[in-house]
């Protein structure tokens, strides 16, 4: 079964979003594992200074060995999306949705 132009465009758009979110997830988890320091009392820091960034694309912090404060947006992303693996779950769900959409539209 052939896809209409609208369905093909939707599938391509979904694939591009899924690829971007997958690449972002891999990059942000890698960066967080290497550069984020979390104290026992819950305070979270960058291990080096100047600060890095988790949004819009992960950026490594500087090379100076000193703790630097995380921005509120980075802290939100780290605590609620990375540490809890919600971002990873979103990627898996998105790919499952893309696969189901493709199967349903192609008659598979």
Question: Domains in the chain: how many in total?
Answer: 1
Helix, strand, coil percent values for the chain (each to nearest 5)? 60, 10, 30
Average pLDDT over residues 82-100: 97
Residue 108, pLDDT score: 67
Instruction: Tell whether the model's pLDDT for residue 105 goes beyond 90.
Output: no
DSSP H or E stretch at residue 38: strand 36-38
From the list 6, 29, 106, 28, the residue with the least C-alpha distance to 14 is 6
For 86, the domain range is 5-106
Instruction: Tell whether the model's pLDDT for residue 106 goes beyond 90.
Output: no
pTM over 0.75: yes
DSSP H or E stretch at residue 13: helix 5-35
């Amino acid at each position: 079964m052939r896809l209409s132009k609208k369905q093909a465009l939707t599938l391509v758009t979904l694939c591009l979003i899924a690829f971007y979110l997958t690449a972002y997830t891999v990059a942000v988890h890698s960066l967080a594992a290497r550069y984020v320091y979390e104290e026992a009392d819950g305070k979270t820091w960058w291990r080096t200074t100047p600060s890095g960034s988790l949004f819009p694309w992960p950026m490594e912090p500087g090379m100076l060995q000193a703790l630097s404060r995380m921005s509120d947006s980075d802290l939100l992303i780290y605590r609620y999306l990375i540490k809890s693996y919600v971002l990873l779950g979103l990627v898996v769900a998105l790919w499952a949705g893309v696969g189901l959409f493709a199967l349903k539209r192609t008659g598979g």
